[in-house]
Every structure is written in C-alpha cells, then in structure tokens.
Amino acid sequence: DPENIFAKILRGEIPNDTVLETEHSLAFRDIRPQAPLHVLVIPKGAYVSYDHFAQEASEAEIVDYVRAIGEVCRREGVAGDGFRMISNAGAHGVQEVPHLHVHILGGRNLGRMLTPA
C-alpha cells in the first residue's frame, strides 16, 4: 500500500523527527510515544512485515536495518539500561501501518512483555 503513512514519510510528504538515516533505513520518533524513548525503525524498501523483509530483502538491506536498530539503541542511550523491540504484524499482531517497523522502547522499566488479552 503506497499510501500508508510510513510510505508518505519516506517520500517526504509528511514530516518526521528523524533519529538516524542510513542508505536503506530510517529511524524516527513515534508520534504517540509509549515510553520516554519510542523510536520506529523502518526499511526504505516497501516491505510489509518482518517475514516479508526476511524473505525478499537483499543482504545489504538486512545488514543495514539490523545495524541501524543497534545504532539507535546506542545513540539514544538505552543500550546500557535496556530496551524492548516490538514488531507487530498482521491482524493478530494488531499492526496499524502495513510497512515493516520495529518499535524501540526504553527509558523506564517496561514491565512484563504482554498483558493478558
């Protein structure tokens, strides 16, 4: 879906608060932060989910994306005290935006991973 909000951010049609930009990836602050640090990291390629990316992205894109996520954690100062990465996919994952994104959350104790549905 080329009209999804992250595709528009990548095309420069919607502003974003960029944390890191690399050849194949973009990291920016979530508009509705759920922790003191809440950054989204997306590949520039039009991949919908992690499994889609893992299957179809080039090795250069995959290496760039994995390293960009680690670099954001270090730059934003959560590598030491810790952080959580979440990538929602599909209906059961309650994915809102159909462009792969990893949420990086940190800056406080985040509690247990899931609350009961």
- Of the listed pieces 29-37, 46-54, 56-64, 70-78, which binds ligand 5GP according to CB under 6 A? 29-37
Q: Nearest distance from residue 96's CB to ligand 5GP, in Å?
A: 3
Residue 27: CB partners within 8 Å, gap ≥ 6?
18, 19, 20, 21, 39, 40, 41, 42, 68, 69, 72, 104
Q: Nearest distance from residue 103's CB to ligand 5GP, in Å?
A: 6
16 binds ligand 5GP (CB under 6 A): yes
14 binds ligand 5GP (CB under 6 A): yes
Residue 84 neighbours by CB distance under 10 Å: 13
Q: How distant is the alpha carbon of residue 52 from its chain centre?
A: 15
Q: Nearest distance from residue 78's CB to ligand 5GP, in Å?
A: 17
Q: How far apart are the first and last CA of the chain?
A: 29
96 binds ligand 5GP (CB under 6 A): yes
Phi then psi dihedrals of residue 110, to 5 deg: -90, 5
Catalytic, out of 24, 38, 52, 101: 101
User: Applying CB under 6 A, which residues contact ligand 5GP?
Assistant: 5, 14, 16, 28-32, 88, 94-97
By annotation, the residues acting in catalysis are: 101
